[in-house]
Structure 1
Amino acid sequence: MSDYTNIAHPYAKASFDFALGENKLQEWHSMLSILVTVAEEETIAKQISSAEGVHTQQSEELVNLIIHVCQGLVDDHVINLIKVLAENGRLAVIRDLFNLFSDLKDEHERVIPVTVTSSELLTQDQVTSLTAALEKKLERQVEMEQVIDNSLVGGIVIKAGETVIDGSLNTSINRLAHQLHAR
């Protein structure tokens, strides 16, 4: 969790509530994603960092630059959000605002992102079976991402929100070694 999470929360919540009220959650998610990409571009990111916490002529020029780059890709409401963030010296929270917005959207849509780490790519049958089992257990729609970790000897590690299920062979071997040392 970033230092900016608490600062970003009210902006994310207000953005989410507005998008939900307008029935434009996906559109806002896409526009905020674009805003993050622009804000994290090296030149702009440096300017955001140097303008953090203050509203100056330099920050107004920065806002105009961000709006110019985003023009046609975001609507007037997101442009207003950019202006409000800048007026309050909060442009540095854009990434956290997006992450919190995404969390609120996922919670609303009852979707949970799940990361499955294994030593090799799972087959389509394994993905289908694992997804069905996780959706039943978690009572949510699962969006699965596969990560390959060659350091795992076998098995898988599943991360869903704050829950981690470690079924890796490495962990089983370590657990067995610990039990043998304890005796």
Structure 2
Amino acid sequence: MASQLSSINLISDRYASALYELAIEANKVDATINDLKLVQKIIGGNKDLKLLIKSPLISSQDKLKVFMKIFSNQGINDLTDNFLKVIANNKRFAYLSLIISQFMKINSAKRGDVTAEITSADELTEEQKNEIVNKLKVKLGDKLSLNYKIDNSIIGGLIVKVGSKMIDSSLVSKINKLKIAMRGT
């Protein structure tokens, strides 16, 4: 299972990297981003389209025909159009959402953007959010975007995730550490 997951990540990374490099060469990074956001939005909002993409019973060429019909009047650029054709020819439509996500991650990394996920037990006030933003900007720089989540199971405190790093100052984490420490004595 782990090797299958790494294989999927490798595939999505290769396609996303290739598309990003082509977008840079063609000076169409922003246009490609807009196109890919549109593709994600349309896929995300259409259950039937999601099923079509994942279906092994429908050929990649038929999937491409559906996509071309949907996007023909949307004004997508030729690079995105060719990308969808390559995905179809290589039978990689099932990876489309992962490839798009990876493309966005590559773009954020190249631009120096940092995304942090803040999880709290309750809704944070604007004052608390501003304090978090200011402290994180000191550590991470100005190109920072924050995603806030509420998870009642952490009881209190915060969990901050930036990339593969995590700062867990949640109350549930502290309780669990205390339980472990008490078992050891």
TM beyond 0.5 = yes
Are 1:113 and 1:160, in contact at CA under 8 Å, matched by a contact in 2?
Answer: yes
SS in 1 for 2:153: coil
Aligned residue identity for 1:34? L
Matched, 1:10 2:26: no
| Correspondence for 2:170 | 168
CA distance in 2, matches of 1:140, 1:110: 9
Matches within 5 A, 1:19-168: 19-39=23-43, 41-51=46-56, 58-73=59-74, 74-139=76-141, 141-168=143-170
How many residues get paired? 179
| Distance (whole Å) between structure 1 residues aligned to residue 176 and residue 14 of structure 2 | 43
Output the TM-score relative to the length of structure 1: 0.86
Runs of at least 5 residues in structure 2 that lack an aligned partner in the other structure: none
Offset at residue 102 of structure 1 (A): 0.9
Q: Secondary structure at the match of 1:105?
A: helix
Deviation at 1:95, TM superposition (A): 0.9
* Alpha-carbon distance, 1:3 to partner: 4.9
Cα distance in 2 for partners of 1:77, 1:164 equals: 37
The 1:50/1:112 distance shift into structure 2, 3 A limit, reads same
3-state SS in 2 of match to 1:151: helix
Partners of 1:86 and 1:69 in 2: CA distance: 15
More deviation in 157-166 or 1-10? 1-10
CA deviation after TM superposition for structure 1 residue 39, in Å: 4.4
- 1:114 is displaced (CA, Å) by 0.9
Partner of 1:154: helix, strand, or coil? coil
Separation (CA, whole Å) in 2 of partners of 1:109 and 1:98: 17
What fraction of aligned residue pairs are identical, expressed as a percent? Answer: 25
Task: Report which stretch shifted further, 136-145 or 38-47.
Answer: 38-47
- Larger proportion of helix: 2
Q: Tell me how far 1:51 sits from its aligned partner.
A: 4.2
Closer/same/farther in 2, CA of residues 110 and 67 from structure 1, 3 Å limit:
same
d(CA) in 2 for partners of 1:117 and 1:78?
35
TM-score (norm 2): 0.85
| Distance in 2 separating the partners of 1:173 and 1:43 | 45
Unmatched 5+ residue regions in structure 1? none
- SS at the partner of 1:4? helix
CA distance in 1, matches of 2:143, 2:149: 19
Query: For 1:9 and 1:125, how far apart are their aligned partners in 2?
Result: 38
SS of the residue 2:158 aligns to: strand
